[in-house]
Amino acid sequence: MNQAAELISRFQASSDERERNLIFARIYGRYENLVLHTIAQVTTVSEQQNRDLAQDTWLIIARELDGFEWKDEKGFINWVYTIAHNVALKAVRKAQRQPDVRTDLEDVKDVAVEAQPEENPDDKEAVKQLLEILKDIDPKALDFIRQKLLEGKTYGQMGAQSGKTEDAVRKRVSRALEKLRNHLKKQYGVTSLEEWLEG
């Protein structure tokens, strides 16, 4: 019998909680990388956040494993993959609807709002420099950023107006901001807008 099949069969047949936990730990060890890799292919968050999503995935697997019907290992791998993929996709969609982390665009917006010529000329100059850097990196992305911050448009609205999908616009902006971070790191030795402004 396949080792994975044996582990799952023993897990399903056992009524001893300690034994089931030990068996599940071996299943976890066998497929941990599969789950993490699947999640990482879907999300763009930190490694720790991916590990949190992996834990959510394993909780579902543990809850549903008794009802899983073994046919072959390929079928089990597909089952695990589907659960991990759905968990990651749900997290991405939730973040898009209700972002709960501070974004680089919000940093840009804060600088722009605070840059009052009479009160803070240094911030005004910082914004000017920032926009010039973005202009050199990706003029179209800069246009999207301006629409987002100054006109309050959504990625979906900008996509419809430019003939692109919402996801394409979001990625265009994300890539531009990543290039901006790399530029700041190379030119000024900082890795964030906040560090650059305080430097």
pLDDT digit string, tens, across residues 78-113: 999 999 999 999 988 887 764 433 445 555 544 444
Residues 72 and 122 grouped into a single domain = no
Residues 145 and 91 grouped into a single domain = no
Of 175 and 189, the structure prediction assigns the larger pLDDT to 175
Tracing tokens 């697997």 back to the chain, one arrives at 61
Q: What distance in Å separates the CA atoms of residue 112 and residue 198, rounded to the nearest whole number?
A: 15
**Looking at 40-54, 109-123, 174-188, which range is the least confident one?**
109-123
Domain that holds residue 117: 104-198
Cβ neighbours of residue 143 under 8 Å, at least 6 residues apart?
none
Distances (CA, A) of 55 to 43, 60, 84, 89: 15, 9, 10, 15
Residues 108 and 91 grouped into a single domain = no
Q: What is the pTM of this model?
A: 0.50
Residues 145 and 77 grouped into a single domain = no
Residues 89 and 159 grouped into a single domain = no
Last residue of some domain: 97, 128, 143?
97
Last residue of some domain: 97, 120, 139?
97
pLDDT for 2 equals: 84
> What integer is the mean pLDDT of 144-173?
78
- Domains identified in the chain, total number: 2
Residues 7 and 91 grouped into a single domain = yes
> What integer is the mean pLDDT of 65-80?
94
For 138-147, how does the pLDDT look when each residue is reduced to its tens digit (9 = 90+)?
Answer: 777 777 777 7
Cβ neighbours of residue 181 under 8 Å, at least 6 residues apart?
104, 191, 192
Residues 32 and 109 grouped into a single domain = no
